[in-house]
Each structure stands twice: as C-alpha cells, then as structure tokens.
C-alpha cells in the first residue's frame, strides 16, 4: 500500500509512535524513526522493522527546537530526496491543576506539541510544493476536542493542532498535499498502564464501546490517511476513541 514511499514519524521510539513506524514499514514505506532522548528504544524500533524485511533508520532531533526540526527535514531530504508522509506524533504532558502549572511546564508542552508540529511542516513546506503531493498526519487528542480537568496546557496544545491542521490543509490542497489529524481517546500504552484500576474504570465507564483502544488502532488509521485510499480526505479530525467524544 505504501511501497516506495518515505515516511518520517516524530516521537517514534515508543508507544503510539513506535507502532505507527512499524505499521507504515509493514505496508512498504521507508521509515525515518525520529526520537529525542531514547536512542536505544529508537534503535529497537529500527531493528524490529529490519527484522521484518522493512527499511528504517533512527534520527535524533528535538522537535521543540526549530534548528533540530530544520536539520531533521533537511537530512531526510538529502538522504531520500523526498518525504511522502509526515507524521507529527511527538508529544509530552505536564499535567496539573491550572493554578499549579508553571510557565516552564506550559512552555514545554506547547513547544513540543504545537511548535514541533508547526516547524516540521514549515521546513517541509517547499518540498511538498515541489513534489505536488504528500500526506501530513498530526496527532491531536480527544482532550483537545472535549477538554479535561488537570490538563489545561495539554488540551490547549491539542486543540491548537486542530486549527493548524485545517489551515495547512487549505494552503496545500491545490498541490495534492493532504493534512489531517487523529484524535486518540483512551489508548493502552505504558502511560495508561500506570493508572490505578479505579482511574481506568472511571474512564471506561464513559466510553460507549466499554474498552480501551490499542496503539494498532491509531497506527492503522495513520496508514489509511497516508495511502491513496484517502486521497480526497483533507482538513479532517478523525476520532479513534470508541465513541468517547461524539
């Protein structure tokens, strides 16, 4: 489905990003596995892809830094000549009640989640124009659509990605470049595994499907949006949340 395509996945060393990288490679894409500090974990993703007959390499860059975003894109274009699929998955949380969130915590979340998404697209913009084609998939969140107590900074960052996605979609649509966002709900990851049973049950009670999602659910949605099957879909936010946000 993605044979001959080059995909860059940010924050791909663990969790949802890891599964996205492995899934895209499984469909034939040559994957650039971006990571910030987890070199060993990123290499394990690459090794998994190579062991399954795919192609991948790990590249370090902090998307919170503009110069790193610029280097990440330039190195990828120099190595492969193109990037067909850009998946902006890197993200962090600094959760707390709003009155307790520091300026540093607010800025850290915004820099990684919003500025990182903005800057990777910005530095890829001219290449997409020249290619006259491409797929941009940004990771929002159900929290960005409905809000969540204790996550005001995170919710604001994920809501910002929705507006960014729609604006980029309008700018690049005429060049056959689509830009969509995915809003995951309650997905089973290392982070959710640390939650108490009571906290998990409280969330499950709000999900119409009465079950958590998997990282594979998100990765397969990314693969669909990256494929030719989604060529006429742009500017959309796809909720993958078992009906949590309707």
User: How many angstroms separate the first and last alpha carbons of the chain?
Assistant: 30
| DSSP single-letter state for residue 151 | B
SS3 177: strand
The radius of gyration of the chain's CA atoms, rounded to the nearest angstrom, is 17
- Active-site positions read 154
- Surface-to-core class of residue 171, CB atoms within 10 Å of its CB (0-12 exposed, 13-18 middle, 19+ buried): middle
The burial class, CB within 10 Å (0-12 / 13-18 / 19+), for 210 is exposed
């Amino acid at each position: 489905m993605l044979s001959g395509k080059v995909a860059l996945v940010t924050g791909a060393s663990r969790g949802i990003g890891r599964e996205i990288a492995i899934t895209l490679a499984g469909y034939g894409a040559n994957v650039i596995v971006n990571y910030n500090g987890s070199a060993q974990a990123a290499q394990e993703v690459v090794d998994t892809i190579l062991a399954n007959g795919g192609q991948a390499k790990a590249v370090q860059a902090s998307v919170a830094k503009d110069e790193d975003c610029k280097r990440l894109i330039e190195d990828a274009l120099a190595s492969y000549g193109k990037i067909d699929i850009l998946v902006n998955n890197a993200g962090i949380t600094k959760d707390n009640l709003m009155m307790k969130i520091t300026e540093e915590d607010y800025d850290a979340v915004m820099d990684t989640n919003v500025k990182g998404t903005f800057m990777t697209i910005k530095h890829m913009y001219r290449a997409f124009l020249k290619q006259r084609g491409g797929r941009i998939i940004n990771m929002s969140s159900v929290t960005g659509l409905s809000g969540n107590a204790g996550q005001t900074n995170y919710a604001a960052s994920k809501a910002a990605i929705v507006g960014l996605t729609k604006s980029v979609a309008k700018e690049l649509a005429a060049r056959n470049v689509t830009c969509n966002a995915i809003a995951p709900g309650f997905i089973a990851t290392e982070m959710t595994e640390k939650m108490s049973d009571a906290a998990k049950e409280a969330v499950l009670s709000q999900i119409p499907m009465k079950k958590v999602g998997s990282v594979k659910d998100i990765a397969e949605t990314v693969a669909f949006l990256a494929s030719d099957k989604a060529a006429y879909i742009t500017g959309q936010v796809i909720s993958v949340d078992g009906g949590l946000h309707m």
